Amino acid sequence: MSIYNKQLKEAFFENYSVDVLRLYTPVDGVEVSCSPKIWKTRDVMNELKNALSANLGSIKFKGDYYTLQNDKNKYFVVNLPVGKDVSVMYNTNWPTKIEIYGDGVEDEIMTAKPVGNQQGLGVMGFCYLPYHFVYDVSFPVMVQISDGMEIFQFPVVVVVDKNKPRQGIYSEIDENEQIDVCEFKTQDISINVYDSNLNVADAELSYGCFNQRCSLGKSLNGILNAKAPACVNGYIEARAEGYAPAKQLFSSNEQSSADVILNKEYNVDFEVRVDGSRVNERVLVIFNSENGNSKSLVLPEVSSLNLSEGQYGISAYVYANSSLKIPESTKRQCTEVPRSGLLGFFGATQEQCVDITIPETIIESALVAGGMQKDYLLASDLERGKAVISVSSLGKPNSIEELQNNFEAFNEQGVDISFP
């Protein structure tokens, strides 16, 4: 049972899994780019499961039942002596929970949006593409022990919580660990759920307090009586298949009942035209709704979206291949630091400067068309199932200055959306 006890105490399977997560999936990163980066959520999940299967299957324990091909494989050897053959298995077909959170995460795609193009590159001199995705992953691992005659095996559940390994049961308590407010559901609340025609509807309901979300359960015949933690300016969130997610401000310490309205979603196929002609370049269209929800359309990978009636801020970016170069540059950055010795003790400071070198960068895709506009989309239009987004050309830039001008002109151009 030494393997089982070591896993309980150190959660070493979780540590290996976090390494796999960061190596094989987009977690944190920054790239120099003026065009968005897109991952298909399903592909990311499949890649993660395949990587977990291969890497966890390579784990060994100290012993003489194997031979390492090279020193790099020492990474897979767990510091626990065993006297028998041990195999670790994870099958991609076993029940596996993978949930991904972050800005730009939708049901089928994960999008990282560039920063620096909104102001036309005038301040920074280049665009960069930051992304940060958070993963919750749990899955079973089978440990098999053999002495050549008999086989003994036992399962363990591996849990990665918000990109971090589950802590062993014997680990010290972190004094800064956040309290789980969902454990303190003290307030009785009643929630009524309706559709836009005021017909009763059923939905999965949760309550958000601070940065945590507590599941309340599913309504029955449009009603849910549940307990929630006491919170000021929290919010009720409702999700149901075929409807847009709904959020409603709700202070559970003062209020005891709420009515939530769900708007029906319609699947719409989109076509993008530049100066009247259909485009084949990469296109990013962002729909920002009034409730803060954002949805992205990425052509040609994703050509349809589920949208509900409402006011949207629509931004359409059309990109084309480019070979523009941002030459290497050096910037001098100065800060005030405390002086050494007695003067520093009394608060005296001095200026300290360092030179920061930004290497030469090639912009592989550039903004060539697009615009932005606010529009109210009616349910009667959305239910037609097809829409055309029309924008004007900005011209293909041949220099950094022209690329900057394109981003500045982008903010002045509109977007026309029609439903033929």
Residue 207 lies in a domain: yes
Same domain for 246 and 276, yes or no, is no
Residue 49 lies in a domain: yes
Residue type, position 51, single letter: A
CATH number at residue 275: 2.60.40
DSSP one-letter code for 148: S
Same domain for 214 and 311, yes or no, is no
- Dihedral pair phi/psi, residue 126, rounded to 5°: -165, 165
Chosen domain end from 262, 285, 308: 262
Name the burial class of residue 351, with classes exposed (0-12), middle (13-18) and buried (19+) by CB atoms within 10 angstroms of its CB: exposed
**Selection from 54, 48, 217 nearest residue 138 by Cα:** 48
**Selection from 401, 412, 390 nearest residue 366 by Cα:** 401
* Angle value at C-alpha 254, between 253 and 260, nearest 5 degrees: 100
Residue 246 lies in a domain: yes
Same domain for 139 and 239, yes or no, is no
- Sign of the torsion angle spanned by Cα atoms 163, 169, 175, 181: positive
Same domain for 155 and 201, yes or no, is no
Chosen domain end from 262, 280, 309: 262
- Give residue 118's pLDDT: 46
Q: Quick check: 100 and 133 in contact, CB under 8 A?
A: yes
C-beta atoms surrounding 286 within 10 Å: 20
Contacts (Cβ under 8 Å, ≥6 apart) of 48: 20, 21, 24, 25, 98, 137
CATH number at residue 238: 2.60.40.1120
225 half-sphere exposure, CB direction, 13 A CA radius: 1
- Give residue 411's pLDDT: 83
Does the predicted TM-score (pTM) go above 0.85? no
Same domain for 367 and 284, yes or no, is yes
Q: Quick check: 49 and 96 in contact, CB under 8 A?
A: yes
Residue 75 lies in a domain: yes
Chosen domain end from 262, 281, 315: 262
Contacts (Cβ under 8 Å, ≥6 apart) of 243: 195, 201, 203, 262, 263, 264, 265, 308
- Give residue 138's pLDDT: 92
Residue type, position 226, single letter: A
Residue 37 lies in a domain: yes
- Please give the Cα distance from 116 to 37 (Å, whole number): 15
- Give residue 175's pLDDT: 40
Q: Using alpha carbons, list the distances in angstroms from residue 10 to 17, 80, 86, 96, 171.
A: 13, 12, 18, 22, 8
Residue with tokens 């309290």: 179
Task: Quote the domain boundaries for residue 44.
Answer: 2-165
- Three-class secondary structure of residue 94 per DSSP: coil
Residue 343 lies in a domain: no
Same domain for 100 and 226, yes or no, is no
Same domain for 224 and 148, yes or no, is no
Q: Quick check: 229 and 212 in contact, CB under 8 A?
A: no
- Please give the Cα distance from 160 to 166 (Å, whole number): 6
pLDDT tens-place values along the chain, 420 residues long: 688 888 888 888 999 999 999 999 998 887 766 667 788 888 999 999 999 999 998 888 888 877 888 888 888 888 888 877 888 999 998 889 999 988 778 767 888 877 655 443 433 445 667 888 999 999 999 988 887 777 888 888 999 988 888 765 544 444 444 567 788 888 999 999 999 888 999 999 999 887 788 999 999 999 999 999 888 888 999 999 889 888 889 999 889 999 999 989 999 999 999 998 888 778 888 888 876 677 888 888 778 888 998 889 998 988 888 777 766 667 676 776 666 655 554 566 777 777 766 666 677 778 889 899 999 999 999 999 999 999 999 888 887 778 778 888 888 888 999 998
Residue 335 lies in a domain: no
Same domain for 157 and 237, yes or no, is no
The alpha-helical segments, DSSP class H, found in 268-348 are 342-345
Contacts (Cβ under 8 Å, ≥6 apart) of 197: none
Residue 12 lies in a domain: yes
- Three-class secondary structure of residue 50 per DSSP: helix
- Residues forming a β-bridge with 362: 325
Same domain for 121 and 192, yes or no, is no
Same domain for 11 and 151, yes or no, is yes
Same domain for 72 and 36, yes or no, is yes
Number of domains in the chain: 3
- Three-class secondary structure of residue 124 per DSSP: coil
- Please give the Cα distance from 352 to 341 (Å, whole number): 16
Same domain for 300 and 257, yes or no, is no
